[in-house]
């Protein structure tokens, strides 16, 4: 075989390249649609290792401000079961967990559980934080600039969820072995 038989010029027509690109996009779209149907119902994930914070008191909810109306004071939460979730607008897993939190809110909010969201993002990032809340149709109070309470809760990652009983002490965290629903049911069963 001689060197003269090897062609080094690129093809002049782009129609075959365009067709391949369109086919690749169609396959990717079909895969995304199929994945959305096969995805299990969203749940609150659990962490299997790490030190426990069970028994820790509900920290003061000192935040820069609130989205979705005024947030509750600790005095207003006294004697209540409280679920706190930590999130950020840029956090993909936070967005993935939003449907599970909304489902819990729809089930346990009417039973008296107080839901509170906290983000460390401050007022400089208020607009994207508000857009996150609106896009995911989150209706419970969301504290922004919540560095102090998140530090007290040792929130080293997000998303994160904690449940506090009527006595103001943590009864569930993502490292707990029982499902969050069982912890909420137990906490609600305790008389005030």
> What tens digit of pLDDT does each residue of 48-70 get?
455 678 999 999 999 999 998 88
**pLDDT confidence tier of residue 24, bands split at 50, 70 and 90:** low
86 and 180 share one domain: yes
Tell me whether residue 15 is in a domain.
yes
Predicted confidence at residue 39, as pLDDT, reads 43
Model-level pTM?
Answer: 0.73
Residue 183: give the domain boundaries. 65-189
DSSP state string for 132-178: HHHHTT--S-EEES-HHHHHHTT--SSSEEEEE-TTSBEEEETT-SS
30 and 71 share one domain: no
28 and 90 share one domain: no
Tell me whether residue 102 is in a domain.
yes
Q: How far is CA 64 from the centre of its chain?
A: 20
* Pairing assessment for the beta strands 82-86 and 160-164 based on DSSP bridges: antiparallel
pLDDT at 41 over 90: no
Predicted confidence at residue 21, as pLDDT, reads 59
pLDDT digits (tens, 9 = 90+) for 116-163: 999 999 989 989 889 999 998 999 999 999 999 999 999 989 999 999
| Distances in whole angstroms, Cα of residue 6 to Cα of each of 16, 17, 181 | 21, 21, 68
| Number of structural domains found in the chain | 2
Q: Output the domain CATH number for residue 172.
A: 3.40.30.10
């Amino acid at each position: 075989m001689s060197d003269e038989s090897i062609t080094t010029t690129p093809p002049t027509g782009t129609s075959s390249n365009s067709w391949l690109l369109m086919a690749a996009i169609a396959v990717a779209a079909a895969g995304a649609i199929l994945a959305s149907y096969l995805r299990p119902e969203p749940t609150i994930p659990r962490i299997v290792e790490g030190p426990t914070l069970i028994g820790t008191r509900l920290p003061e909810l000192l935040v820069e401000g609130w989205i979705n109306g005024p947030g509750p004071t600790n005095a207003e939460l006294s004697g209540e079961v409280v679920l706190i979730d930590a999130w950020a607008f840029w956090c993909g897993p936070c967005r993935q967990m939003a449907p599970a939190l909304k489902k819990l809110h729809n089930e346990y909010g009417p039973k008296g559980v107080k839901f509170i969201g906290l983000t460390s993002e401050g007022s400089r990032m208020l607009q994207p934080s508000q857009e996150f809340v609106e896009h995911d149709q989150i209706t419970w109070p969301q504290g922004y600039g919540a560095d102090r309470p998140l530090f007290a809760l040792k929130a080293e990652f997000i998303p994160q969820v904690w449940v506090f009983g009527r006595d103001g002490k943590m009864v569930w965290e993502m490292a707990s072995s029982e499902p969050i629903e069982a912890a909420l049911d137990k906490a609600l069963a305790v008389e005030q």
